[in-house]
Chains A and B, each alone.
Chain A
């Protein structure tokens, strides 16, 4: 069956360190993959999109990689801050304007 997997356990890191979150998928050939941030009680907020022909995308302290051979995307937050604490969701699209398929999210806690 088709599915997306993200780190199921919460990630706790020290302020200033780099957080790395993983998104693995099976039985898809996505045209692109997206990462969203969600704070408690609020809707997800779009962060980054990376296409299948892109290896890496950066935005300020955020970096996303996309390995279509491994069927994996990594999401990095460098110089992490307590304000980065949230749940991070990955979502992928299989092309042809099909709807997004969502992972369950990974909770990140950055400790001061």
Chain B
């Protein structure tokens, strides 16, 4: 399977704990995105990378969230001191930007539940 993969698929944690999610993009893709999605809403942009450079981070994102893409391949998203409001589906997408278009391929998501 050469699609986008995410790990874990589900995570249940207690408030105040730290969690880390991993995303493996499609290998030749140069862009990687993280989104958060809650029921009935569209994907909410969190951050994105072009190769290993983090080009943008949502202003809505608190300092508890951090993402890395150390070698321009896989990426991790860490949430520190989780809160109940962090409960959501976290989606990763990758794309190969060329010809000015950015068609994104999504992973299955990681569903986070904060108790």
Show the binding face of A for B, using Cβ within 8 Å. 31-32, 34, 41-46, 49, 89, 93, 95-97, 99-100, 102-105
A93, B101: Cβ atoms closer than 8 Å: yes
Tell me whether B100 and A97 are in contact (CB under 8 A). yes
Asked whether any CB of chain A lies closer than 8 Å to the CB of B40, the reply is yes
Contacts of B100 in A (CB 8 A): 31-32, 95-97
Contact A44 B108 (CB under 8 A): no
Q: Is there an interface contact between B106 and A100, defined as CB atoms closer than 8 Å?
A: no
Q: CA–CA, A43 to B92, complex, Å?
A: 8
| Cα A46 to Cα B102 with chains together (Å) | 11
B: interface residue count bin: 20 to 34
| Interface residues in B85-115 (C-beta closer than 8 Å to A) | 89, 91, 93, 97, 100-109, 111
Determine whether the beta carbon of B104 is less than 8 Å from that of A49.
no
The segment out of B13-21, B42-50, B75-83 that lies at the interface is B42-50
Say whether A43 contacts B101, CB under 8 Å: no
Q: How many A-B residue pairs have CB under 8 A?
A: 54
Which A-B residue pairs are the 5 nearest by beta carbons? A43-B106, A102-B42, A104-B42, A102-B43, A43-B91
Does B33 belong to the interface (CB within 8 Å)?
yes
A97 to B31, CA, bound (A): 11
Which residues of chain B have C-beta atoms less than 8 A from A44's C-beta?
A: 43, 91, 93, 104, 106
User: 20 A-B Cβ contacts within 8 A?
Assistant: A31-B100, A32-B100, A34-B103, A41-B89, A43-B106, A43-B107, A43-B108, A44-B93, A44-B106, A46-B103, A89-B43, A99-B33, A100-B102, A102-B42, A102-B44, A102-B45, A104-B40, A104-B41, A104-B42, A105-B42
Q: Which residues of A contact B93 (CB under 8 A)?
A: 43-44
Residues of A within 8 A of B111 (CB): 41
- Of listed B42, B104, B111, residue having the most chain A CB within 10 A: B42
A43-B109, A44-B106 given; 5 more Cβ-contact pairs under 8 Å: A31-B100, A43-B106, A49-B103, A89-B43, A93-B101
Taken together as a complex, chains A and B put the C-alpha atoms of A89 and B105 apart, in Å, by 14
